[in-house]
Amino acid sequence: MNKVMNSALEAISDIQNGATLIVGGFGLCGIPEKAIEALRQQGTKDLTVYSNNCGIDDWGLGLLLANKQIKKMIASYVGENKIFEQQFLSGELEVELTPQGTLAERMRAGGAGIPGFYTATGVGTPIAEGKETKVFNGKTYLLEEGIVGDFALVKAWKADTLGNLVYRKTSRNFNPLAAMAGKITIAEVEEIVEPGELNPDEIHTPGIYVQRLIVGTDYQKRIERRTVIKA
């Protein structure tokens, strides 16, 4: 099976209106920017997106938000996006805030075929509203459901043609978890090599989780919020 696509547009072409996406990245680090740009160009709308955050106004998932393609956002942090704030306050965007560790574990659980798990995070807060609870050893826990998306979009550093992925440094973040949790996982990478060229001990995501590969160039190393020390 040839997993290498000719373009990002080809790779995302069957993502239809109303699809559920799981997107890797943390802030602007390790985001699948080519797939996001292709989705913006295609105009797919009414998307439900699970991701740590929603980018910024003019980059990352913020591009889809500005184009009004996202219907619901499930994230752990949304503080860098004015468009997000405006759409939420106007009722255009449905938002579900999820603790960061819980979101990560929901992705991992979904990818591992685990339908739900109990966690103490969020007990006694608005996060717990409407959720089942259970007591273990005298302590209350919330039932959280695993996440499985129609598609997962991830960014890796290197892949082989079988779809085995290697991430680079902090860009690993949510990407391995997101890659597990998609029914169809689309990975964009900076380099593709032949099978056997990757050290098996350095592979972070096995190719069984990856259905499509995109090779990207000219990636932008943008900073979400630049801070400097005065001289």
Q: Domains of the chain (ranges plus CATH)? A: 8-116+147-215 (3.40.1080.10)
Handedness of CA 151, 175, 110, 48 (dihedral sign): negative
At residue 97, the pLDDT reads: 94
At residue 222, the pLDDT reads: 82
At residue 155, the pLDDT reads: 98
- Rounded Cα distance between 172 and 182, Å, is 17
Residues 179-197 pLDDT 10s: 999 999 999 999 999 999 9
Rg (CA), the chain: 18
At residue 224, the pLDDT reads: 78
At residue 187, the pLDDT reads: 98
pTM of this structure: 0.94
Structure tokens at 20: 């559920």
CB 150 within 8 A of CB 17: no
- Rounded Cα distance between 168 and 148, Å, is 25
At residue 200, the pLDDT reads: 96
Secondary structure element (H or E) that encloses residue 175, with its range? helix 175-180
β-bridge pairing 47-50 and 70-75: parallel
Q: What parts of the chain have a pLDDT lower than 50?
A: none
> SS3 of 27, please?
coil
